[in-house]
Amino acid sequence: MGASRTTTMTIAEVEDFAFRILRDNGLAAHQAGPIARAMAVTEAAGSQSHGLYRLIGYVGSIRSGRVNALAQPQFERIAGSFMRVDGDNGFAPPAHAVGVKALIDAAETNGIAALALTNCYHFSALWHDLDPIVSAGLACWAFTIGQCIVAPHGGTRRLMGTNPIAFGWPREDRRPFVFDFATSSVARGEIELMSRAGKTLPQGWGVDASGQPTLDPEAALAGALLPFGGYKGSALSMMVELLAGPMIGEPTSRQAAAFDNGDGGPPIGGELLIAMSPAVFNTGLAKNWQRQAEGFFADARTQPGIRLPSDRRHAARQRSEADGISVPNTLLDELRKLSLADDLRSVPAMKAGPEAI
């Protein structure tokens, strides 16, 4: 891209930019901080669909009053290996920040533990939620429900969300093995970007509003996406629906869709995090789990053209640290407008008085 069409920003500049826009729209600092950080880390890892672009939806759901801009997440220990954070109708990253240390401690003590984030809005990259857990030497999962736009395998209508699964595996002195993918044929954010870029979809990704196969991103967004991998991906999507919904007392994606007011923000919903300690699991054994796993990764590397799930993100992160992040000027202009005084007058959260931080 030419210099005239993009602006190069450092990772810290992206974070500051996002933080300021969120704050300008009345989001409490303890909410805006973790969100802006997640956005910058995601943008730096090359995941534009979960980067700065998401500010539009964040701001939309703050301005519509659907999300509590002053939310105070509450932590609760329910059982030896199960904790919960009530997000107070705010965004998920601050709820995650309040509970993740207790999750790590419980997994290190009991071998395995789970943390539910409830009553909140998840709109950032799921893999980022695993970072502190995998950095603590734990294997982990995260499950959350995406917007309800996926038909089951063989179906014609929306039933499930895009329902991503993220998994992390700790590696000594190396960046962790982490994957994070939608159980739909493609993430909703990617389809939106394809639509903005005027691209067509591969076959088998979506159906239109009448349930017929379509290659048009807009038609699929109006109809439904299909799961990846046929009946197996469909079963996994249903699993995520159950785990991040009823399992933790949260709505299914279809139920959550009923609360959508079209402000472009995320659906209400929860997130389930699970952490496991390979060190505890290997108690009394040879404890060579790291060597075994590294042998497996080294084996994989001997096949030409093989990429491990997190390779692309790690490489993008290195480039971003060295050369900065190229952000399209059209996007920056659009985002800057989100802080214009004229628009800010209509921000409900700004009328709520001084923030409780």
Decide: is 350 part of the binding site for a copy of itself (CB under 8 A). no
**Which residues inside 283-342 make contact with a copy of itself, applying CB under 8 A?**
283-290, 292-293, 295-296, 299-300, 303, 305-309
Residue 280 touches a copy of itself, criterion: CB under 8 A: yes
Between 56 and 136, CB nearer to a copy of itself: 136
Q: Please, how many CA atoms are within 13 Å of residue 83, restricted to the half-sphere of its CB? A: 25
Report 105-134 residues binding a copy of itself (CB under 8 A): 109-114, 116, 118
Write down the least CB distance from residue 311 to a copy of itself, Å.
11
Burial label, 8 (beta-carbon count in 10 A; 0-12, 13-18, 19+): exposed
Subset of 162-191 contacting a copy of itself (CB under 8 A): 167, 169, 177, 179, 181, 183
Q: Give how far the C-alpha of residue 165 lies from the chain's centroid of Cα atoms, to the nearest Å.
A: 10
Residue 81 contacts a copy of itself per CB under 8 A: yes
3-state SS, residue 32: helix
**Of 49, 234, 277, 310, which residue is the catalytic one?**
49
Minimum distance, C-beta of residue 66 to a copy of itself, in the bound complex (Å) = 21
Query: CB of residue 192 vs a copy of itself: minimum separation in angstroms?
Result: 20
The amino acid present at 340, given as its one-letter code, is L
Position 89 contacts a copy of itself (CB under 8 A): no
Residue 96 is among the residues annotated as catalytic for this protein: no
Q: How far is the CB of 72 from a copy of itself (least distance, A)?
A: 18
Active-site residue flag, 218: no
DSSP assignment string, 161-217? E---EEEEE--TTS--EEEEE-SBSS-HHHHHHHHHTTPPPPTTSEE-TTS-EE--H
Query: What residues from 241 to 270 belong to the interface with a copy of itself (CB under 8 A)?
Result: 241-243, 245-249, 251-252, 254-255
Residue at 23: amino acid letter: R
Size of the site for a copy of itself (CB under 8 A): 76
Site for a copy of itself in 198-227 (CB under 8 A): none
Verify whether residue 192 is a known catalytic residue.
no
Q: Does 276 bind a copy of itself (CB under 8 A)?
A: yes
Near a copy of itself in 30-59, by CB under 8 A: none
SS3 86: strand
Start-end of H helices in the chain:
11-24, 29-44, 55-63, 92-110, 126-135, 188-196, 217-222, 230-244, 253-257, 278-281, 289-301, 311-323, 329-336, 341-344
Active site residues: 49-50, 190
